[in-house]
């Protein structure tokens, strides 16, 4: 799957533009006025939400995007426009007399305490301008795909009109639906409800057989080409038409860890549209969307995947380049994640290695493991080492669930690699003193931390190799 092709897509997004606001703080007491926690605010954050987050996801994949919707004449609109300019999102926005749509979330230790929604359904006058802008843009720009991002907030008063106009101009139409009545999405190419939305729309689901039967019925009733149902930890299910029948394909989840599911649906439809708009077939587009969603749920709040985050899942060769690893580290740090680095030969993997790496991962969010090349191991351990070649050692370490990225280095020490990656936390075994750990001065100078982890006594690759050789 060539991700560079995604840059060919030109996607139009229309829908409810939302400002997502977050107030992060701490709670250490309950209010004397009522049995509710008292939040001490510490950090305020604003992000793109709704259709704006969909557009951001398209841009993050390298494609062109144009966003249409309604904004108020208020401070929220100014914040949204500044964010969209920062994210390089172009668009046209109807200026309403009514307020912009916003969601304010109050959080303590990543736990959401309360969400406050500010919204009023936009007017017929606003919708008239939305229709006019849409019709003009579609005729003059010919985007490769259209995303209708319906959050049920009132920006889209006549979705059948949008679908008719899009079909006249041969656009591929994708809809992220809301509500229990999906009839307004009739004629789209594909809709992407989550399992709960699908179940509510079809009157409930009693079994997998019932799911398949009702999905097929909905597919034909709405004259869709395909129906993609996102199913949380169970992944996704695609129901699509062929010339003579329908086909069901299940895609297991790609998420390694779930931190926040906010905006995962935005990522799914944005990835689908970008891939299809670039010429990918539907199956490959869903595979990409599944991987992208798995990346995003490991982040905090509404977010978007990048090409460098997706590429490790699609490479035939498991080794990423140093520049790939650096990009991934920078992106993680930009998302307030701590990158942990450790290194070793890992010639013969044993229980001590696994326990050590699991403990290292718990110190941060992403774990990078530097592995000595074969030449480097020979310099350190002797001409009869390593027992296992570099590609074998890297494959074994990469297979561990606690390890995010593996990178090799040819020098005797990983100093140049540490300087290049700039991890937040440097880790070695407790048999080292902090001041003697290679790279400790550099990490500390960058504001990072250096930690040691107790090793399991009696477990050593060198000892195991000696023991095996003594029996031969």
Cα–Cα separations (whole angstroms), residue 276 to 36, 187, 401: 48, 17, 31
Query: Tokens 């299940």 appear where?
Result: 250
**pLDDT digit string (tens) for 314-328?**
654 445 788 888 988
Task: Please identify, in words, the CATH class of the domain defined by 3-306.
Answer: alpha beta
pLDDT of residue 142: 85
Smallest Cα–Cα separation from 279: which of 12, 90, 4?
4
> Across residues 387-398, what is the average pLDDT?
88
Cβ proximity of 156 and 129 under 8 Å: no
Question: Which listed CATH number (3.40.50.620, 3.90.1150.10, 3.30.1490.20, 3.40.50.300) goes with 322-470?
Answer: 3.40.50.620
Work out the number of other CB atoms within 10 angstroms of the CB of residue 242: 7
pLDDT of residue 317: 43
**pLDDT digit string (tens) for 296-308?**
776 655 567 777 7
Query: Tokens 């034909």 appear where?
Result: 220
**pLDDT digit string (tens) for 39-73?**
999 999 999 999 999 999 999 999 999 999 999 99
**Residue 325 in tokens:** 């690893």
What is the pLDDT confidence band of residue 234, given thresholds at 50, 70 and 90? confident
Q: What interhelical angle do 75-86 and 51-60 show, nearest 10? A: 10
Give residue limits of the domains in the chain. Answer: 3-306, 322-470
pLDDT of residue 316: 46
**pLDDT digit string (tens) for 104-158?**
999 998 788 999 999 888 999 999 999 999 999 998 998 999 999 998 888 999 9
SS (H, E, C) 19-79: EEEEEEEEEEEECCCCCCEEEEEEEEEEEEEEHHHHHHHHHHCCCEEEEEEEEECCHHHHH
Please indicate whether the domains covering 3-306 and 322-470 agree at the CATH topology level: no
- Ramachandran quadrant class, 336 (left: phi over 0; alpha: psi -120 to 50; beta: rest): left
Q: What is the pTM of this model?
A: 0.71
**Residue 138 in tokens:** 């579609």
**Residue 37 in tokens:** 């926690």
Cα–Cα distance for residue pair 126/129, rounded to 1 Å: 5
**Residue 356 in tokens:** 């050590």
Cα–Cα distance for residue pair 149/15, rounded to 1 Å: 5
Cα–Cα distance for residue pair 337/40, rounded to 1 Å: 22
**pLDDT digit string (tens) for 368-378?**
999 999 999 98
Q: Which residues pair with 368 in a beta bridge?
A: 341, 405
By residue count, the chain amounts to 472
- Burial of 400 from C-beta contacts in 10 A (0-12 / 13-18 / 19+): middle
Whether 266 is catalytic: yes
Cα–Cα distance for residue pair 174/15, rounded to 1 Å: 12
SS (H, E, C) 165-187: HHHHCCCEEEEECCCCCCHHHCC
Cα–Cα separations (whole angstroms), residue 124 to 127, 133, 137: 5, 14, 20
Which entry of 16, 150, 176, 266 is annotated as an active-site residue? 266
pLDDT of residue 467: 66
């Amino acid at each position: 799957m060539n991700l560079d092709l995604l840059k060919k897509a030109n996607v139009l997004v229309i829908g409810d533009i939302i400002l997502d606001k977050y107030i992060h703080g701490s709670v250490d007491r309950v209010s004397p006025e009522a049995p509710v926690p008292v939040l001490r605010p510490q950090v305020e954050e604003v992000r793109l939400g709704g259709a704006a987050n969909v557009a951001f996801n398209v841009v993050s994949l390298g494609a062109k995007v144009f966003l249409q919707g309604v904004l108020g004449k208020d401070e929220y609109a100014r914040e949204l426009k500044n964010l969209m300019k920062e994210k390089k999102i172009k668009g046209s926005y109807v200026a309403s007399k009514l307020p912009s749509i916003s969601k304010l979330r109050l959080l303590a230790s990543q736990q959401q305490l309360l969400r406050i929604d500010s919204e009023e359904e936009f007017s017929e006058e606003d919708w008239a301008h939305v229709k006019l802008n849409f019709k003009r843009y579609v005729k003059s720009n010919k985007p490769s795909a259209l995303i209708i991002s319906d959050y049920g907030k009132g920006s889209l008063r006549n979705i059948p009109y949008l679908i008719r106009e899009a079909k006249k101009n041969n656009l591929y139409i994708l809809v992220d639906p809301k509500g229990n009545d999906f009839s307004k999405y009739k004629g789209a190419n594909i809709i992407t409800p989550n399992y709960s939305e699908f179940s509510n729309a079809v009157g409930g689901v009693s079994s997998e057989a019932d799911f398949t039967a009702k999905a097929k019925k909905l597919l034909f009733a709405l004259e869709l080409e395909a129906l993609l149902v996102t199913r949380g930890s169970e992944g996704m299910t695609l129901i699509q038409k062929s010339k003579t029948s329908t086909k069901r394909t299940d895609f297991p989840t790609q998420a390694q860890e779930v931190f926040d599911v906010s905006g995962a649906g935005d990522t799914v439809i944005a990835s689908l549209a970008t891939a299809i708009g670039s010429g990918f077939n539907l199956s490959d587009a869903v595979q990409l969307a599944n991987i992208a969603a798995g990346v995003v749920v490991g982040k905090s709040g509404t977010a978007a995947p990048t090409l460098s985050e997706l590429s490790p899942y699609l490479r035939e060769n498991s080794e990423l380049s140093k520049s790939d690893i650096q990009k991934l580290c920078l992106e993680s740090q930009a998302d307030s994640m701590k990158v942990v680095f450790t290194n070793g030969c890992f010639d013969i993997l044993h229980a001590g290695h696994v326990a050590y790496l699991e403990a290292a991962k718990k110190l941060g969010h992403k774990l990078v493991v530097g592995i000595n090349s074969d030449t480097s191991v020979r310099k350190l351990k002797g001409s009869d080492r390593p027992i296992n070649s570099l590609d074998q050692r890297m494959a074994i370490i990469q297979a561990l669930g606690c390890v995010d990225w593996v990178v090799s280095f040819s020098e005797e020490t990983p100093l140049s690699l540490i300087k290049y990656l700039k991890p937040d936390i440097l880790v070695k075994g407790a048999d080292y003193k902090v001041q003697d750990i290679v790279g400790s001065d550099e990490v500390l100078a960058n504001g990072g931390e250096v930690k040691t982890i107790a090793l399991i006594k009696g477990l050593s690759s060198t000892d195991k190799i000696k023991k095996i050789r003594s029996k031969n």
